[in-house]
Homo-oligomer: A and B are copies of this chain.
């Protein structure tokens, strides 16, 4: 029940066209959920840019198509994550206005660009193999209207490569650190700057990296204050978080 229906109801009460008991009945039945929905919907509009995101895995091509269509119609924008290969090609075939980034595994479209926010988010990677996750973060941020600066291949095995980028990191609104293996880069960056560090462990590694668990634990136990962690390989989540900062 939106506000104008509510106003009509009250107008009816006022004019006598609707009895008080009848109105009371309608209000009593006023679905909890609809009121809730309305309020949450307002809230949702505040989060424009996050709402129309689709996580592709586990969805059928048919479901994806109808969700893309619906999102493009309602929001004039859509972001599909973790999509590649055949499904990506199919969607690109049907909706040629979509842009596909194979490394980030992202399909996106926005009719008119958002006003770019002030400042930027820095996205730092430890190794070449972390680039896919970093790019997912970067493209998500850009889709949400954030500016991104990337700093690549600055893992702790060659710390000297990180130091020239400190100025860039210190100027950022937030810093996303993407690292696999032991994930030490998050601690090192966290100890060098005073910006919030959002750490993304990646499943890069082998053996005792246990699919990213080692990097995850390393980042959670960071001895540097100012580091928080998202799920393994979750570049999208890190971007959303950084966007809200």
Contact = CB atoms under 8 A, between A and B. Distances in A.
Interface residues of A, number: 105
A166 B233 CA distance: 30
Number of copies of this chain in the oligomer? 8
A144 B115 CA distance: 33
Interface in A149-199: 155-166, 170, 174, 181-184, 187-188, 190-196, 198
From A57, A165, A193, A245, residue with most partner B Cβ within 10 Å: A245
A46 interface: yes
Nearest to A234: B207
A156 B128 CA distance: 23
A164 B29 CA distance: 11
| Majority DSSP secondary structure for residues of A touching B | helix
A72 interface: no
B220 A217 contact: no
Contact of A188 (B159, B194, B229): B159
Contacts of A205: 221
A228 interface: yes
Interface of A: 3, 6-7, 10-11, 13-14, 16, 20, 23-24, 27-28, 30-37, 39-41, 43, 46-47, 50, 53, 57-59, 63, 126-129, 155-166, 170, 174, 181-184, 187-188, 190-196, 198, 201, 203-234, 236-238, 240-241, 244-245
A96 to B, nearest CB: 25
A41 B159 CA distance: 11
Contacts of A182: 182-184, 187, 217-223
Contacts of A228: 198, 228-230, 237-238, 241
